[in-house]
Every structure is written in structure tokens, then in C-alpha cells.
């Protein structure tokens, strides 16, 4: 998208206001470049049209993305889209012991699934390992970094606390030559893990812990998923992140609020390296916004791992998990997430968003897109006593009541049908409008029937419901509108329906704030909703046999369902409930 065809922002927020002010001021129209070539494509496009902004989404490939990441993805890619810029996907792969290609692949797939693309701007922090090392040597040479030989516990003890300033390490005043020698020997693999670290020399008395001589490099003899065994020292995130932004000519580095205290370090590093003519100017700036706090879920990576590893869920893609791969399997939609991100907005203040808002966004999107079908989830037989034995006929149901252009589908009708068990009561409750002896209802898209009773076994269990139909009452035929009944039931033909596995998913936790008010790291597990997954064998109308994996439908009266992308087989789809038709938690 060219700079003179900027799509208007749908909603405004403080970050968009900053972007618009920067563009209006021409802040990024003239850059001073170092002699460094920069990542492919970035510098080449930077000079003539740098009025475009550049944002980035920088996940660590050590797990699956969750709902909170969706907010960040929509924000960063949305800014670039709306202001004619570019958004980079950059993997923060600086910790080889926790990262796997599986996670890289899943993240790429999730961002694409949400509807965003980075074009040629796919990067890895490991792309910059050579430069990051070079910059570290430059900082040592300038007296701004030193090799510390304290243990991790000793470094922690020297760092002080909220009421006590930190104390200088006894190695802080090592000379440049000694620091350079030790750092190069660290790189050469002469030392064991933990023997030395490289620290930035800033201020051990700073009230900001991030400035108390933070660690820039540590020794770690581990194979990296991209660089193999080339390196045995790896940079820390705080050292890598800002430099990577600067190398890629990022203009607006948008982070969540927990990184606000890290911004002084971000600026310190880039300003020092920029003054050495090692980074392009102007430098990127970091802006923070509130992360997603969503009720009825946990978004802590540690807790998500625990849910999977301890078998509380069926894996990362369990439809109850608040991961994007789980959301996709559940039938949540990319458009629903984008609508959700737009509605919750972007602010600097933390607040809780109720899960019902996310579910409503999914309902709104699916109501527009999903064709209608019929499924009986708790079946009981309905016998039409006066319908001819062996006779069959066709009823017609609209594929979408709001989209007549989608046409109608055939629904076979016969003497015996499946209906929902809850649609019959021997002694009706007040206001009950379905089947009970003597009452008349319409079989949706079919005939009006009058209930004549029911069959029970010796223990009083309902076996079948009986009725008689009115032959001149078929929906869509002349005179059928003359029958005024209050009940309207869905059904499927017993002869033509087919049994299918249907999974009824609900919220994973029964409390809006899992673990709140209780002590202990595992307290949140006490709030697990043990009814969050129920599996039933339902009877489905024949048209659903053709459902393809990830194809969504509204099962009339029941909610929105999707053909499972993992377990569905040709002509035998398995369905997952995405969301009910209404918020069933509204009164809780």
C-alpha cells in the first residue's frame, strides 16, 4: 500500500494518535544510515519513502500463541496496514534450550490464520548474532560493558532490593583488555555455563532494577535450532530486542505494559550504539499498552504448560485452551478476533475484559457466515402414528435465513423422527409450548402435529413420543399458514439421519478469576470447570455429511459448531461446539 493511499483507521487510540503525529511531522522521512547493510529489503525501502511506519511482532518460539497475542498481532499488523507501512514478524530466538521449530511453524501459521502477512519481512534475532556480538565488543571497548565472574546467586545478592541500592561487583572495574580477552574466550567455548556473564555498566544505584548493570550475554553450551553449535554464548532478550528493532528500522516498537520499566534500558543501548554510528537514526521508540486480561482463562505461559503437561486438557490445540491453535480448532474465527481487538481498544490502563465479549464477537461473525443445519443432540423417537408406513417426502429448509441467494436444502421426512428429549413433558410446566398430550406444535419446515402420548419402560424411562400429523399443514404449501401454533421443533428423519460425535465445549474455568483469593501457585486449578467438555452421539441431518474440516454451521437452537480439523473423516465429520446462541453465563 503506497503512502498516499492510507486506509483510514477504524477506531482511534493513543498509539494511533502518536503515529499520525509522527507522520505529519515527517519524523521518519530522513534517516542517517550507518555503514551497516541492514536486513534484506529494509534499508532499500527506507530512504525514499520512510514516511511509512514499521512495526513488529516479536514472539519467542517457546510455546503456542494465546488470545493475548491476538490483541498484539492485530494492533501491530493493523497499524502497518492502516498507515501504509510494514509489520515485521521477528522471532526472539535467543534461548536455545527452550525453543523449537514446532513453535516457529505454529506461530507463522497462527499469524497467517488471523489474516495478516509480513511479505519479505520475516526475521529472527539469530539473524543478528554476529552484529550483536560486534556491538558487545564495541561497548566493552567504550568502557560500557564488563565481564562479571560472580555466580548467579551472587549477582542477585549484589543487585539489592526495593529499599537497598545494588553494590558494584568486584569485577566491575576490570580493564578493557581483560574484559575483551575474557569475552572472546567465552565465545571460544573455554568456560562452563555460568562461569562468566557480560554485563552492561550503567548504574547499580538506580531505582530501576533493569539499569543495575543488566546481563547482556551468558555462556550456554546448547544447540540452537537455527545456528546449530556455532555459538556457546547467547544474548539476553533486553540486550537483543531494542538493537533488533533499530537494525530493522522499526519506527514504533509497541509492547505491553510490563516492558515499561525496560524502556530506559532499550533507549540506553540504542543511544550508545547510535552515537557510535552503529545504528541508523532516528532510533525506534518503545510504546506500551495494557495487555489483555480476560476472565475465565489463564494466559500465563507457565500455567498453560502446566495445564497441558498434567493432562488437565488434551493438548495445546484442545478447543478449551486459550491458545490460537485451540481457538481455531474450536471454530473461533479470525474475523471474530479482529472484531474483538477493535472493540476492546488500546489503552495504558489495565482492566478486565469479560469472556462474553469475545464470545459475542464470534457469534456476530458466525451469524453472518454460518449456514444453518439441524442436529438432535439428546435424541428421543417421535412416531407419527397416522403417517403412511414406508412413505417418504422432502421438506425444504433455507441454508441461511438472511441470505436467500444461498438457496434451500432438502430434508427427508418419514414416519419416525428424532427430536430433542427436552421437547416432551408428560405434565407440562407453566409456559411450556412443546410436546405434551393434546398439544399441537409445528415440526420446523415440515408439518403441524398433535401429541397423543408417550411410551415408557418398566422403570419409567421415556422411550418414544407419539403424535398425529395434519396432512394439509406442510410448510410452504397453500393454507399451511392457517395453523397457528406456538411451539416450533427441530427434527431429523430417523431413516436418513446419521450418528456423529459432537463435543460440547464450555469455558475451561468456572470462576472469572481462576485462583483469585487463594494462596499457592496451583490454586487456580481448583477452579477448573469439570463440565467444560461433554461428548454426545447426536443425530444429524444428511447434508452435514458433506461438511469439510473447519467448516462452521449454526445448529438450530443449539449454537455454532465446526467440523473438527483433526478428527473429521470424509463423510464422517466430528463437530465441536464453538459457542452457544446466547450467553449462558450471563447470570453467573
200-242 pLDDT, tens digit each: 999 999 999 999 999 999 999 999 999 999 999 999 999 999 9
Of 417 and 35, the one with more pLDDT = 417
In 17-96, at which residue ranges do the beta strands (DSSP E only) sit?
54-57, 86-91
Nine-digit cell at 297?
482463562
Report percent pLDDT > 70 for the chain: 94
Coil/strand/helix, residue 211: helix
pLDDT at residue 30 in the model: 62
Q: What is the tens place of the pLDDT at every residue in 494-520?
A: 999 999 999 999 999 999 999 998 877
Which CATH number applies to 301-371+500-579: 1.10.540.10, 2.40.240.10, 2.60.40.420, 3.40.50.2000? 2.40.240.10
pLDDT of 48 over the 50 cut: no
Residue 530 buriedness (CB in 10 A; 0-12 / 13-18 / 19+): exposed
pLDDT, tens digit, for every residue of 340-381?
A: 999 999 999 888 999 999 999 999 999 999 999 999 999 999
The confidence score (pLDDT) of residue 518 equals 82
The pLDDT of residue 36 is above 70:
no
**pLDDT band at 39; cut points 50, 70, 90:** low
Is the pLDDT at 45 greater than 60? The verdict is no
Residue range 303-325: mean pLDDT, rounded = 96
Assess whether pLDDT exceeds 60 at residue 484: yes
Confidence grade of residue 521 (pLDDT, cut at 50, 70, 90): confident
CA angle at 64 for the pair 59 and 70, rounded to the nearest 5°: 65
Q: Is the pLDDT of residue 38 over 90?
A: no
- Quick one: pLDDT band at residue 587, thresholds 50, 70, 90? very low
Q: Average pLDDT, stretch 66-77?
A: 97
- Nearest-CA neighbor of 155 among 220, 209, 85? 209
b/e map 549-580, b = 16+ CB within 10 Å: bebbbbbbbbbbbbbbbeebeeeebbbbbbbb
Looking at residue 47, what is its pLDDT? 43
- pLDDT value at residue 51: 57
Phi/psi at 102 (5° precision): -55, -40
Is residue 212 within 8 Å of residue 160, measured between CB atoms?
A: yes
Q: How far is the C-alpha of 470 from the C-alpha of 483, rounded, in Å?
A: 10
Find the mean pLDDT for residues 63-74: 96
Given CATH 3.90.800.10, say whether it is the number of domain 131-234.
yes
Place of cell 511453524: 105
Q: What is the mean pLDDT of the chain?
A: 93
CA distance 498 to 443: 19
Is residue 280 over pLDDT 60? yes
Res 376: pLDDT: 98
CATH among 1.20.1630.10, 3.90.870.10, 2.40.240.10, 3.40.440.10 for 375-490: 2.40.240.10
371-373 and 552-555 strand pairing: parallel
| Range 14-128+237-294 has CATH code 3.40.50.620 | yes
pLDDT above 90 for 473: yes
Q: Quick one: cell of 3?
A: 503512502
The bridge status of strand 122-124 relative to strand 86-91 is parallel
Residue 540 in contact with residue 373, Cβ under 8 Å? Answer: yes
As annotated, the residues of the chain forming the CATH 3.40.50.620 domain(s) are 14-128+237-294
Tell me which residue of 93, 26, 19 sits closest to 287, measured CA to CA.
19
Beta strands in 425-517 (DSSP E): 440-443, 448-456, 462-469, 487-489, 492-493, 498-505
CATH 3.90.800.10 residue spans of the chain: 131-234
What residues form DSSP beta bridges with 509? 528
Q: In this model, does residue 40 exceed pLDDT 90?
A: no
Which ranges in the chain are annotated with CATH 2.40.240.10? 301-371+500-579, 375-490
Active site residues: 60, 291, 301
- Please give the average per-residue pLDDT across 564-583, as a whole number: 95
Q: What per-residue confidence (pLDDT) applies to 7? A: 39
Q: Average pLDDT in the 453-479 region?
A: 94
Contact call for residues 3 and 52 (beta carbons, < 8 A): yes
Amino acid at each position: 500500500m503506497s503512502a498516499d493511499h492510507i486506509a483510514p483507521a477504524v477506531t482511534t487510540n493513543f498509539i494511533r494518535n502518536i503515529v499520525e503525529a509522527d507522520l505529519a511531522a515527517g519524523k521518519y522521512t530522513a534517516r542517517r544510515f550507518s555503514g551497516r547493510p541492514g536486513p534484506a529489503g529494509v534499508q532499500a525501502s527506507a530512504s525514499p519513502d520512510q514516511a511509512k511506519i514499521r512495526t513488529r511482532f516479536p514472539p519467542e518460539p517457546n510455546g503456542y500463541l494465546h488470545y493475548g497475542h491476538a490483541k498484539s498481532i492485530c494492533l501491530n499488523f493493523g497499524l502497518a496496514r492502516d498507515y501504509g507501512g510494514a509489520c515485521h514478524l521477528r522471532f526472539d530466538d535467543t534461548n536455545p534450550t527452550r525453543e523449537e521449530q514446532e513453535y516457529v511453524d505454529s506461530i507463522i501459521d497462527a499469524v497467517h490464520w488471523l489474516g495478516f502477512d509480513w511479505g519479505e519481512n520475516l526475521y529472527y534475532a539469530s539473524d543478528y548474532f554476529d552484529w550483536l556480538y560486534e556491538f558487545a565488543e564495541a561497548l566493552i571497548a567504550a568502557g560500557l560493558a564488563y565481564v562479571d565472574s560472580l555466580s548467579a546467586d551472587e549477582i542477585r545478592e549484589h543487585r539489592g532490593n526495593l529499599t537497598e541500592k545494588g553494590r558494584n561487583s568486584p569485577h566491575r572495574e576490570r580493564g578493557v583488555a581483560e574484559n575483551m580477552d575474557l569475552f572472546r574466550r567465552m565465545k571460544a567455548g573455554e568456560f562452563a555455563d555460568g562461569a562468566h556473564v557480560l554485563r552492561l555498566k550503567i548504574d547499580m544505584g538506580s531505582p530501576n532494577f533493569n539499569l543495575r548493570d543488566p546481563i547482556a550475554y551468558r555462556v550456554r553450551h546448547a544447540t540452537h535450532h537455527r545456528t546449530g553449535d556455532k555459538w556457546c554464548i547467547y544474548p539476553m532478550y533486553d540486550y537483543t530486542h531494542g538493537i533488533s528493532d533499530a537494525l530493522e528500522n522499526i519506527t514504533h516498537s509497541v509492547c505491553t505494559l510490563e516492558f515499561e520499566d525496560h524502556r530506559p534500558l532499550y533507549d540506553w543501548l540504542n543511544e550508545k550504539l547510535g552515537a557510535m554510528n552503529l545504528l541508523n537514526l532516528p532510533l525506534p521508540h518503545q510504546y506500551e499498552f495494557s495487555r489483555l486480561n480476560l476472565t475465565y482463562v489463564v494466559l500465563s505461559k507457565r500455567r498453560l504448560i502446566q495445564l497441558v503437561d498434567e493432562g488437565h486438557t488434551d493438548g495445546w490445540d484442545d478447543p478449551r485452551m486459550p491458545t490460537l491453535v485451540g481457538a481455531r480448532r474450536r471454530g473461533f474465527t479470525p474475523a471474530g478476533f479482529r472484531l474483538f481487538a477493535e472493540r476492546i481498544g488500546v489503552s495504558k490502563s489495565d482492566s478486565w475484559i469479560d469472556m462474553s465479549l469475545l464470545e459475542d464477537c464470534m457469534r456476530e461473525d458466525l451469524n453472518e457466515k454460518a449456514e444453518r443445519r439441524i442436529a438432535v443432540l439428546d435424541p428421543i423417537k417421535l412416531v407419527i402414528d397416522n403417517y403412511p408406513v414406508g412413505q417418504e417426502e422432502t421438506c425444504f429448509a433455507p441454508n441461511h435465513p438472511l441470505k436467500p441467494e444461498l438457496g434451500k436444502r432438502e430434508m427427508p421426512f418419514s414416519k419416525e423422527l428424532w427430536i430433542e428429549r427436552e421437547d416432551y413433558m408428560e405434565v407440562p410446566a407453566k409456559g411450556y409450548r412443546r410436546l405434551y398430550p393434546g398439544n399441537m406444535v409445528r415440526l420446523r419446515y415440515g408439518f403441524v402435529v398433535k401429541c397423543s402420548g408417550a411410551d415408557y419402560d418398566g422403570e419409567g424411562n421415556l422411550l418414544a413420543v407419539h403424535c398425529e400429523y395434519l396432512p394439509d399443514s406442510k410448510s410452504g404449501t397453500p393454507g399451511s399458514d392457517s395453523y397457528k401454533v406456538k411451539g416450533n421443533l427441530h427434527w431429523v428423519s430417523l431413516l436418513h439421519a446419521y450418528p456423529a460425535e459432537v463435543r460440547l465445549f464450555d469455558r475451561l474455568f468456572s470462576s472469572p478469576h481462576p485462583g483469585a483469593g487463594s494462596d499457592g501457585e496451583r490454586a487456580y486449578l481448583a477452579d477448573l470447570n469439570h463440565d467444560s467438555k461433554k461428548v454426545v452421539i447426536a443425530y444429524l441431518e444428511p447434508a452435514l455429511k458433506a461438511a469439510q474440516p473447519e467448516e462452521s454451521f449454526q445448529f438450530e437452537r443449539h449454537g455454532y459448531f465446526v467440523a473438527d480439523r483433526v478428527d473429521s473423516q470424509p463423510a464422517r465429520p466430528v463437530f465441536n461446539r464453538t459457542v452457544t446462541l446466547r450467553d449462558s453465563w450471563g447470570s453467573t
